């Protein structure tokens, strides 16, 4: 970065920390300078999305403290995560409806399991927990209506939001990594992404240190992190790693074997010369780990030819990686296409990595999966 640009950054109080960024990330710095100097694109949407994700994250944490017990885990009872899913979706959707009443939402849940006498106990828990995170108490009907605002079909025109109220359900139940993920899609392209990670260390070099990260990115404005649910938390820029040789890289992989083919991952690692131990965690927290350089490569390899990824599982993480200086594609090297509706039907799997090694990773994946999908 030139001295002139560094002085420009240092003269803007909100951007002083950018001056410490690696020289390879000058583009992100320039974007951040413009971010500070103009009327900001999607400024209101960004602020509202952060509020929505923070409130939903608080709901999830409240559910875990109240409902998840050793007995729950022993019996593999998923009812707490069901309560959290519904409650978080109700909170986010109600906030989006307040500020953007004409924006449709592609959400993961609907209210059918909460209806009638069969759904009464679950419904009452959802309403109770939802009301711990909203300013004005919501009636049962209002909660159900908010949940059902997430039934939009998606598509290639106009604007809509996509929400995963809890990504990483098993991680949530274990008290490990899960995420609340919200993204804004305009004309088929992700323009804004926010991911709340309540259990992710703010600094991975101190895994037992302070936890709770919110990552946010807007198109052409860079990627940032802040402390989750900390009032007036300072946003700091995040960047992918600067590893230039794949043999020095590390994977960020799923804990759950059903979410990826670890055998194929091992073959890819061999082709890339990777010997470092993988960072394993659930949810879109993996995208955040790569976006801030905790790991270098994230692979979501197809487990069979029929499986299709959902847009809410990748939209927010996709833009955060890109704005942090990385690249994202499917296993064939094609960009993820969020214009197809509720799924990534035009794609198979996901590859994310820093730009220096991305092409090498794609070639290794292609060689390993040749003729499989």
Whole-angstrom distance, CA of residue 78 vs CA of residue 73: 8
3-state SS, residue 137: coil
User: Does the annotation mark 85 as catalytic?
Assistant: yes
pLDDT in tens, 232-262: 899 999 999 999 999 999 999 888 665 556 6
Whole-angstrom distance, CA of residue 319 vs CA of residue 195: 11
pLDDT for 355 equals 96
- Which position among 82, 85, 148, 162 bears the catalytic label? 85
pLDDT for 373 equals 66
- Which position among 82, 130, 162, 169 bears the catalytic label? 169
Q: Using alpha carbons, select from 323, 321, 354 the residue that is nearest to residue 30.
A: 323
pLDDT for 35 equals 45
pLDDT in tens, 50-89: 999 999 999 999 999 888 876 554 445 668 889 999 999 9
pLDDT for 372 equals 77
pLDDT in tens, 23-39: 445 445 444 444 444 56
pTM: 0.88
Whole-angstrom distance, CA of residue 249 vs CA of residue 295: 7
Residue ranges in the chain whose pLDDT is less than 50: 1-24, 26-27, 29-37, 73-75
Q: How, if at all, do strands 297-300 and 251-253 pair?
A: parallel
Q: Using alpha carbons, select from 223, 166, 167, 169 the residue that is nearest to residue 193.
A: 223
DSSP state for residue 208 in the 8-state scheme? T
Whether the CB-CB separation of 284 and 181 falls below 8 Å is answered with yes
Whether the CB-CB separation of 231 and 88 falls below 8 Å is answered with no
């Amino acid at each position: 970065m030139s001295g002139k640009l560094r002085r420009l950054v240092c003269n803007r109080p909100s951007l002083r920390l950018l001056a410490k960024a690696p020289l390879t990330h000058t583009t992100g710095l320039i974007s951040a300078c413009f971010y500070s100097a103009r009327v900001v694109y999607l400024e209101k949407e960004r602020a509202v999305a952060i509020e929505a994700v923070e409130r939903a994250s608080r709901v999830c944490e409240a559910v875990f403290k109240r409902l998840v017990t050793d007995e729950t885990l022993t019996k593999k009872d998923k009812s707490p995560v069901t309560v959290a899913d519904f409650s978080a979706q109700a909170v986010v959707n109600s906030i989006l409806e307040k500020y953007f009443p004409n924006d449709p939402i592609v959400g993961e849940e609907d209210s059918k399991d909460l209806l009638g006498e069969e759904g009464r106990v679950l419904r009452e828990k959802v309403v109770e927990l939802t009301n711990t995170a909203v300013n004005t108490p919501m009636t049962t009907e209002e909660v159900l209506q908010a949940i059902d605002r997430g039934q939009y079909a998606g598509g290639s025109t106009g604007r809509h939001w996509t929400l995963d109220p809890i990504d990483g359900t098993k991680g949530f139940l274990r008290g490990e990594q899960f995420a609340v993920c919200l993204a804004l899609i305009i004309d088929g392209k992700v323009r804004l992404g926010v991911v709340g990670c309540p259990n992710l260390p703010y600094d991975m070099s101190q895994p037992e240190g302070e936890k709770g990260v919110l990552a946010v990115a807007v198109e052409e404005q860079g990627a940032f992190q802040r402390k989750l649910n900390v009032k007036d938390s300072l946003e700091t820029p995040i960047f992918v790693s600067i590893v230039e040789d794949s043999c020095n890289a590390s994977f960020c992989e799923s804990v759950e074997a059903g979410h990826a083919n670890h055998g194929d991952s091992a073959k890819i690692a061999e082709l890339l010369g990777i010997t470092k131990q993988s960072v394993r965690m659930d949810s879109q927290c993996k995208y955040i780990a790569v976006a801030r350089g905790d790991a270098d490569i994230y692979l979501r390899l197809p487990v069979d030819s029929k499986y299709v990824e959902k847009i809410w599982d990748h939209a927010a993480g996709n833009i955060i990686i890109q704005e942090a200086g990385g690249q994202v594609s499917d296993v064939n090297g094609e960009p993820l296409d969020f214009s197809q509706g509720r799924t990534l039907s035009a794609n198979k799997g996901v590859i994310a990595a820093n730009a220096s090694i991305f092409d090498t990773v794609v070639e290794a994946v292609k060689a390993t999966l040749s003729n499989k999908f």
